[in-house]
Amino acid sequence: MAATVTQQPQKLVLLTGDSWGMLACLCTVLWHLPAVPALNRTGDPGPGPSIQKTYDLTRYLEHQLRSLAGTYLNYLGPPFNEPDFNPPRLGAETLPRATVNLDVWQNLSDKLRLTQNYEAYSHLLCYLRGLNRQAATAELRRSLAHFCTSLQGLLGSIAGVMAALGYPLPQPLPGTEPTWSPDPAHSDFLQKMDDFWLLKELQTWLWRSAKDFNRLKKKMQPPAAAVTLRLEAHGF
Amino acid sequence: MGARSSGAESMEPRALLLTQKPEPMALFAFFQTILLLVSLSLRTCQSEVLSEPLPLTPESLDVSINSAQRCLHLQWRVHSLAYHQELKMVFQIEISRINTSNVIWVDYYSTTVKWNQVLHWSWESELPLECATHFVRIRSRVDDARVPEPRFWSNWSSWKEVNEQNSLGHKASSVFPVDKLVEEGSNVTICYISRSHQNNVSCYLDGVRMHVEQLDPNVSAFHVNNVAFVRETGTNIFCEMDPKDDAGTVLFVSKVLEEPKDFSCETQDFKTLHCTWDPGSDTSLVRKQPYQSYTLFESFSGEKRLCEHKNWCDWQIAQDSQEMYNFTLVAENYLRKRSVNILFNLTHRVRPMTPKVFFKNISATNATMTWRVHSTGNHRTLLCQIELHGEGKVIQQHNASIKVNGEYLLSELEPDTQYMARVHCGDANHFWKWSEWSGENFTTLEAAPSEAPDVWRDVKSELGNRTVTLFWKPLSKSHANGKIRFYNVIVENLDKPSELEPVPIPAPANHTKLALDQCSYRIHVRANNSVGTSPASVIVISGDPGNQVEEERVNVTADGFSLSWKPQSGDVTGYVVEWCDRPQDGSCDLQWENLGPNTTSTVISSDAFRPGVRYNFRIYGISTKRIAYLLEQKTGYSQELAPLVNPQVVMSNLTSHSFALSWKDYPTETQRSFIRGYHVYLKPKEGQCHPGFEKAALSDNSVCCKYKIDKPEQKTFVVENLQPESIYEFFVTPFTSVGEGPLDAFTKVTTPDEHSHLLIRIILPTVFCVVLIMIVCYLNSQWMKEKCYPDIPDPYKSSVLSLIKSKENPHLTIMSVKDCIPDAIEVINKPEGSKIQFSGTRNSLTETEITKPAYLYLLPAEKNYSGPGPCICFENFTYNQAASNSGSCGHVPVPPTAPSQRGLLTSLENLLKALEKNYMNSQGEIPAGETTLNYVSQLASPMSGDKDSLPTDPPVPALCSEYKTQMAIPLGLASPPLSENSSVSSVTLLDQGDHHH
């Protein structure tokens, strides 16, 4: 059996309120904002800064999702908020899978790698918006809306990288806009299971994207003069 | 679980119809009955004979399922009935679960059956029908009185199987019921169905493991009683087993829909009815049940309105002026409906609109409030309530009856004060509710201050000038009547009338300093605001410095310092008590309190009072001339504290048996309490305390002796009865009502030797005397020299000689000493004697004049020599101690028999010698037989002596000079020890008569 590149987290970690981590993440993002024009001074720096920015954004979203998932799974109630809950992936077949064979992942072309990321987040964003519409509490809706905005930013960032590398954006087929609406055939329990899997898949995708963009970053490493200082945010 | 049926309840027994219809149908019916009975009897006979089932067996049994309601619906017919035949029958229904032998329900259903009638019966299962296969069968029996006994049960119908498990579809496992909506408090049975046989089934209700009962190898179930609402997303039920085959469901538990509370409707404008209610609990569930709906239904008009809001709804009033309204509010969710009803007359539900308020003619004490209430239709009379608020409290309340516009004069207001006035109105005829309050703030105008400021003074005299500090308290708001801008101070010299000029002092100053001379002054202080000035406060500073009074201690109570004073007769207009709030830091912060003329006591309290601080209170009487004179002075502590320091003790007068201690007083300001005395602690030498001391334990648990000095003014103490050459430790501390000073280190003192002071007593005076004598002697050295050792006259230089030589005999010469041949040698043995003997010796001098002294007589060789010729006789004269002991160079009476003896003279040296000897021999310790050398001094010239002091001197020829050879005589040559008398013989006397005659 081939190893998979994304060692799937066994459970969704429900750590919430890590304000220091959040602060460090924000600092990281803010740190890189001035770094981009600094690189531009030496002429066209290529897609490097965009990739770095995208990588940082995935790390920030990864942290943000931990807090959001904790809130949402508590809202669903046990067993979904239990740390060792690992249900079968029954009704979430339409969700884009982040897990991929290691060999396949390593042999992915840059274009395909970016395209898969873009398509995955496009779908996940739609599903997440559907989730937001069904949320009962205002606070949860606010959190979901905030996360959707961030995810939209990530999508734009990926699009930026693709544009910088000269890759076209994948065009969705007309009428295939993914939606996350309750399936009448689904029991409510399965609906909750789908919600659970949406959050879990999103987390896995963010984890995989960090690896993707790290790999791309190394590949697109500009000359030493253009290397920026970067703060790594650890411990989330 | 239960059963219900429908069908033949309305049928009536045919026999009853027969009795009601006798003609002509009665005949027909009678035959029909006979026919029926015959027919039945025949069939009975046949069954008995043939043992065949009765023909009235239920047939065409059909079972349908309502999964959501967990209901089985049965329907069947009884085909054997004749046309239009009706018969009362009983049906027995059996329901089995899982297999036919497992009968779980038996029920009987009685009804009148018609020909060709379809009979219905329902049964609600406790267990979801998807959980297990159910089997149903039925049989019947005629239960009609027209049919004679015995009546037999028909045969059972065949088992009808009801299997809803097919709905499982392709899923491996499921939990039922799916997404069930129940109310709080319901009982629910849950089952878990799997494709494979179940092992180790665990089911959790919202994370709580439940007790599961296995119905068959593939089905488990558990029962939940009285389910509770957990969250709006439902209660999750999750089951798992071995092998892994998880499944779950959501049980939606809704809160019980409540009846709307406080439902009422009212109008403000006769156009709209505004209905409100309290909806109670929210019964909504996410993705299952929306928020409960509210519908308003009016029965008179038959109109209905679905309300958009949870707790209110507006109802448009029709133009035809409907007066009566009967509203029903229906609350509804998926599980139940609740309704509430009100019936009212519209005119009795009028709540006026919120008035609009204005103010006009605002003065210092009055304001006019006006308001307007928008039309409520037909110019109804309104009752309005007016409230005046000041400082957050209602201070005035008024009622007014108006139509549309209202006006009210608010009086008795305080100047320069902010008020809030508000009004609300209600229908006067059919009061329903007050309108909303409508209010506005307003501020009255300022007025002149109504009271004189409270003024006091502090007078300090320095070098003939006085510095008067005037203090005043800010006027209270009720007296200031506005913002005080400044204070006018007028100083009027009472001794020298002059022009008065006010000095304005801007607010918020509360004091001013005035430099005054020794004259009397009257000071006026007035407070001014933008409108006017206050009455004057007058205080007189007298030229008289005032009297001094003795300070007394003040009583302290829980409320503060309790001061009282003697009432003053006469012209006292009041009293003032003055004190400093902060005497400890020197800032004083002068405070005062004015009291009436009849008051003779007060209690002073202040938040500024601190424990351990001495506060001085001065009580002044105020005369009619506004002069303050000091009456009493009191001092005290709000709380006494133990002293923090001990006095600096000085030790003096240390003797071998005592020493004295002294210390200085504390400054009053630093005292933390009244000192009641002092404790002198002395560490005893041998565990015994001295008289007056008592044993006491110190705070460090050591034991020592304590002497209590009760008088705080006593600041000396003599510690007596001590032992010489001993070490004592002492320590002095003050004591107060709350304890004594801190335990300090003891001071050590060592008592001296007992004799040392004696030595000092003797030696010091002696040395002093000697030094005095030496000084005296030195100062009178010339006199001493003349008296004690005058210069020896040189015969060659004598004037007498020249005189004789010139006048009588020019051949006269002076004989040389060496030319003289001594004719007698006197050897004297130094006698032994004491000081006491000297006086005796001295007395014996006169005696020796009579008695012959024992001396060695050497007669001159030329015995016959005599004659008046010039005779110069040199005689040795020996001093003795008796002579020196005369204390001076005084003259010793010389016996007439010794004319040559010119007197006893001693030298200062000899005197000192004698003194020294005297001291040395004061104890008479001179060893017997000791001999000394006696020096024989040269005799001074008689001319150098004091002639007057020698009245007993015999007349000596002027030319006769005597000289005695000075000789040292070895004591070894002395004669044997002499008796006391013989010692006297140390004075050598030359019997002149014997010599010369």
- For residues B388 and B851, which has the higher predicted lDDT (pLDDT)? B388
pLDDT at position B812 is: 58
- Segment A102-110 shows an average pLDDT of 90
pLDDT at B869 over 50: no
pLDDT at position A2 is: 37
Enumerate residues 171 to 190 of chain B having a beta carbon within 8 A of any beta carbon in chain A: 175, 178-179
pLDDT, one tens digit per residue, over B615-628 is: 999 999 998 888 88
pLDDT at B903 over 70: no
- Cβ separation of B233 and A75 shorter than 8 Å? yes
Interface predicted TM-score (ipTM) over 0.85: no
pLDDT at position B931 is: 40
Lowest mean pLDDT, pick from B651-660, B662-671, B765-774: B662-671
pLDDT at B827 over 80: no
pLDDT at position B664 is: 84
- Using pLDDT thresholds of 50, 70 and 90, give the confidence band for residue B143: confident
* pLDDT over 90, % of chain B: 34
- Cβ separation of A188 and B252 shorter than 8 Å? yes
Which of B175, B207, B232 shows the shortest C-beta gap to A78? B207
Q: Does A192 touch chain B (CB under 8 A)?
A: yes
In this structure, the strands spanning B551-553 and B537-541 are: unpaired
Placement of tokens 């406060």 in the chain = B537
- Segment B591-602 shows an average pLDDT of 90
Mutate to test the interface with B, among A71, A74, A90, A189 (most CBs of B within 10 A): A189
- Cβ separation of B206 and A187 shorter than 8 Å? no
**What number of H helices and E strands is found in chain B?**
11, 55
pLDDT at position B108 is: 94
Give the span between the Cα atoms of B369 and B410, in whole angstroms: 7
Give the span between the Cα atoms of B631 and B623, in whole angstroms: 12
pLDDT, one tens digit per residue, over B466-519 is: 889 999 999 998 899 999 999 999 998 888 888 778 889 998 999 999 888 888
Distance from CA of B592 to the nearest CA of A (A): 59
Residues from chain B contacting residue A77 (CB–CB below 8 Å): 206-207, 230-231, 233-236
pLDDT, one tens digit per residue, over B965-978 is: 444 444 433 334 43
Distance from CA of A76 to the nearest CA of B (A): 6
Two tokens, residue B578: 């003055």
Residues from chain A contacting residue B237 (CB–CB below 8 Å): 189
pLDDT at B7 over 50: no
The mean pLDDT value of chain B amounts to 77
Give the span between the Cα atoms of B245 and B201, in whole angstroms: 10
Distance from CA of B210 to the nearest CA of A (A): 14
Mutate to test the interface with B, among A187, A196, A197 (most CBs of B within 10 A): A187
- Using pLDDT thresholds of 50, 70 and 90, give the confidence band for residue A37: very low
pLDDT at position B3 is: 52
How many residues in total does chain B contain? 997
Give the span between the Cα atoms of B780 and B801, in whole angstroms: 32
pLDDT at position B804 is: 61
What's the pTM value of the predicted model, to 2 decimals? 0.55
- Segment B558-565 shows an average pLDDT of 90
pLDDT, one tens digit per residue, over B625-636 is: 888 888 999 999
pLDDT at position B983 is: 37
- Cβ separation of B236 and A187 shorter than 8 Å? no
pLDDT, one tens digit per residue, over A76-86 is: 999 999 988 88
Contacts of B539 (CB under 8 A, 6+ apart): B455, B456, B457, B470, B522, B523, B525, B626, B628
DSSP label at residue B533: B
- Segment B327-333 shows an average pLDDT of 95
Q: Does A188 touch chain B (CB under 8 A)?
A: yes
- For residues B50 and A113, which has the higher predicted lDDT (pLDDT)? A113
- Using pLDDT thresholds of 50, 70 and 90, give the confidence band for residue B142: confident
DSSP3 helix / strand / coil % (chain B, rounded to 5): 15, 40, 45
pLDDT, one tens digit per residue, over B672-691 is: 888 889 988 888 767 678 78
Enumerate residues 4 to 63 of chain A having a beta carbon within 8 A of any beta carbon in chain B: none
Q: Does B250 touch chain A (CB under 8 A)?
A: yes
Distance from CA of B206 to the nearest CA of A (A): 5
- For residues A52 and B791, which has the higher predicted lDDT (pLDDT)? A52
- For residues B315 and B712, which has the higher predicted lDDT (pLDDT)? B315
pLDDT at B29 over 80: no
Using CA atoms, how far residue B571 sits from B578, B621, B626, B629, in Å, is 20, 9, 10, 12
pLDDT at position B208 is: 92
